[in-house]
Amino acid sequence: MGSRSKYTIQKINGMVNLLELAHALGPYAICGEGNVSAKAEDEYQTLFYIKASGTSLDTLEKDQLVACKLSGVPFDSLGPKPSIETGFHAWILREFNDIKFIAHTHPLKTMQVACSEQIWSFAEHRLFPDQVVRNGAKSCVVPYAMPGKPLLEEMKKSVLAFIEEEGYFPKLILLQNHGIIVASASAKECVASTMMCEKSAEIFVGAKILGQTNFLTEEQVSEIDKCPSEARRRKMYQ
């Protein structure tokens, strides 16, 4: 009974957490846009679930989740089709062991920034401490590419370049003219980071309208990022 029973429990837990994540992010993706995925594993096998193509995050049901191998290939070739963006989910979940959940959404206020040249400034700078805590000292920008294989290839280049320069996987990935990706060890952190990104984008746009934007200095960002009290606050959503 052992291994089969354990695997089934993990599978069910992964599906429940993924549905909760999808429903929480529903307001940030309408008309069937956006997708979520979650890794499920035991000592025998690792797979992931992803939102089926043509479904909506806010109304996602258990039978609208597609089980895939880490290669991105569905286990059931005759079942619902996975999202066209399954490729980048598979790559992240396969290559970065600590990541268990991925959330890809198109938040309105963040899209204003992502559809402008200000996306680079938004990724490079920080405005307030909470933004540093939840979205990291910097964000990764992926230049626009069509969903599917083109986006996967562009993402690989951008994310790996970010890791080489910054030394860590980005807490927030900005997709130019497209949306955002948050990848984490917990569903709760994916929601918190998405919400913080949207809050930050609204403040960023408002500050730009009001005049000269007062960014935190690199020294201030570094101090916040390494502060023990902020580290404890960061763990609230892990």
Q: What is the C-alpha R_g of the chain? A: 18
Length of the chain: 238
Tokens of 48: 């992931």
One DSSP character per residue, 33-99 reads: --EEEEEEE-SS-EEEEEEBTT--GGG--GGGEEEEETTS-BS-TTSPPBPTTHHHHHHHHHH-TT-
Q: What is the pLDDT of residues 44-96, one digit of tens each?
A: 788 999 999 999 999 999 999 999 999 999 998 888 999 999 999 999 999 99
- Spell out, as residue ranges, where the chain has pLDDT lower than 50: 1-13
Bridge partners for 101 per DSSP: 38, 184
CA 114, CA 118: separation in Å to the nearest integer? Answer: 7
SS3 of residue 26 by DSSP? helix
pLDDT at 33: 87
